[in-house]
Amino acid sequence: MKKIPRSASNDYSADMVNTRRHFIEKETNTSLPHLSHFSLPPESVAGNIENFTGVAQVPIGFAGPMTVQGEQAQGDFYVPMATTEGTLIASYSRGMRLTREAGGVTTTVIDDAMQRAPMFSFANAREALAFGKWVKANFALIKQACEASTQVGKLRDIEQYAVSKLRWLRFNYTCGDAAGQNMVSKATRAGCEWIIANYPAPIAHFVLSANLDTDKKHSHLNTLHTRGKRVVAEVTLPKALVKDVMHCTPEALFKQRQYSNMGAMMAGSISNGAHFANGITALFIACGQDVANVAESSAGFTYAEITPNGDYYFSVTIPSLIVATYGGGTGLSTQAECLRVLGCEGKGSVNKFAEIVAATVLCGDLSLASAVVADEWVSSHERLGRNR
């Protein structure tokens, strides 16, 4: 079978894009008029993709307005969501109306860390332990070596995890407005080179990563210790509002929460929430995030209370929300437009974006939970009642 055409000199010219499209069309006996219909300049995707041939046209709708009382995100937002799941935007919008009428969603970024976790192996556990102590004692110098490789990344601390004669160092960085995965890989490599050059005893084996990070997959470690931003969104819904907008009660929502907590524990789920992934994915596609990070970002916790006066306190915590407003796909055509709609352009806007994502997730979880509860209440109740 033939190789896909590439150009050594300029692979992002309109010509090369056409050449590749014609090649694919011919080889697969297809026609790709939609794929080749786009307005983004081909040269703009250099660094974002290889063998660029066209675009996926993913439908975008706006949900909202959503009112956010964040530390960074303050005011009302129209939230761009790229999805093909019908009712999703309607449902999120309903949750946004509910929280808007309750005064808005309070959001807080409570932690921030991106990491790379190299592994070092030794002759035995005792040598691994000695290495761990040396690393701790030499933190300042390691930090210097890491940060020399980056203008933005700052090494916060190095956690250590040990099993057998192996020792993982989990380097935690802050990365400005970037998601930072590449930044921290480069910086950690620089730090490890310094370690390897200066550690006065033998190291049997070193590798820059061995699945403890854990990149592009969920882990309980990341839920405990944050990967990307750790964000909380909260709201207190007056009892009457729940009835008016959601056609159910705080008590019914809270009861459903008890069942859902138990179901999640029984299933061994990484989330006791309803569908964090839906809102996160739709925002990620629209806003040029690395969508594969849905694997990590979709995990999280829901916590609710009925207040003494019968209102409903509801919160979502996203422990590993990996977001960026700089780098990656954030500068591309439609993606940059969507970030601009949210006012998340320019330096220092990443936490604002993180807060908007968390607020959106909260609205979507409230809406779905209410639908599940009210549905049962309205349509199944009569039949159910007969059995009592």
Q: Which are the catalytic amino acids?
A: 85, 290, 381
Residue 222: beta bridge partners?
none
For position 51 contacting its own copies by CB under 8 A, the verdict is yes
Nearer to its own copies, 165 or 352 (CB): 165
Binding flag, residue 350, its own copies (CB under 8 A) = no
Q: Binding segment for its own copies among 135-143, 149-157, 208-216, 348-356 (CB under 8 A)?
A: 208-216
The answer to the question of residue 292 lying near its own copies (CB under 8 A) is yes
Residues across the chain: 388
Q: Please report whether residue 103 would count as binding its own copies according to CB under 8 A.
A: no
Piece in contact with its own copies (CB under 8 A), picked from 137-145, 148-156, 279-287, 348-356 = 279-287
150 binds its own copies (CB under 8 A): no
199 within 8 A of 131, measured Cβ to Cβ: yes
By CB under 8 A, the residues from 298 to 337 that bind its own copies are 298-299, 301, 303, 305, 315, 317, 319, 328-329, 332-335, 337
Amino acid at 337: E
Residue type, 201: A
**Of residues 69-88, those binding its own copies (CB under 8 A):** 71, 76, 78, 80-88
Radius of gyration over every alpha carbon of the chain, rounded to an integer in angstroms: 24
Q: How far is the CB of 69 from its own copies (least distance, A)?
A: 10
| Range 142-151 contact pairs with CB under 8 angstroms and sequence separation of 24 or more | 142/191, 142/194, 142/195, 143/191, 145/190, 145/191, 145/193, 145/194, 145/195, 146/171, 146/173, 146/187, 146/188, 146/190, 146/191, 147/187, 148/190, 149/186, 149/187, 149/189, 149/190, 150/183, 150/186, 150/187
Specify the stretch interacting with its own copies by CB under 8 A; choose among 138-146, 147-155, 237-245, 274-282: 274-282
Does the protein bind its own copies through residue 93 (CB under 8 A)? yes
Q: Which amino acid is at 47?
A: G
By three-state DSSP, how is residue 263 classified?
A: helix
What Å distances lie between residue 37 and 17, 30, 57, 356, CA to CA? 11, 15, 9, 31
- Name the residue among 331, 322, 319, 316 with its Cα closest to residue 353: 322
125 binds its own copies (CB under 8 A): yes
**Cα–Cα dist 107/74, whole Å:** 9
Out of 13, 43, 58, 136, the only residue in the binding site for its own copies (CB under 8 A) is: 58
Residue 110 engages its own copies in binding (rule: CB under 8 A): yes
> Of 325 and 335, which CB lies nearer to its own copies in the complex structure?
335
- Provide the H-helix boundaries in 110-180: 125-137, 139-147
Cβ proximity to its own copies, 142 vs 282, nearer residue:
282
Instruction: Give the Cα separation of 109 and 354 in Å (integer).
Output: 7
Nearer to its own copies, 144 or 261 (CB): 261
- Binding to its own copies (CB under 8 A) within 212-271 occurs at 212-224, 230, 232, 234, 255-256, 258-271
Residues that bind its own copies (rule: CB under 8 A) add up to a total of: 171
The answer to the question of residue 163 lying near its own copies (CB under 8 A) is yes
Interface segment toward its own copies; rule CB under 8 A; list 126-134, 135-143, 146-154, 348-356: 126-134
199 binds its own copies (CB under 8 A): yes
Longest dimension (CA), the chain: 78
Nearer Cβ to its own copies (104/176) = 104
User: Is residue 136 near its own copies by the rule CB under 8 A?
Assistant: no
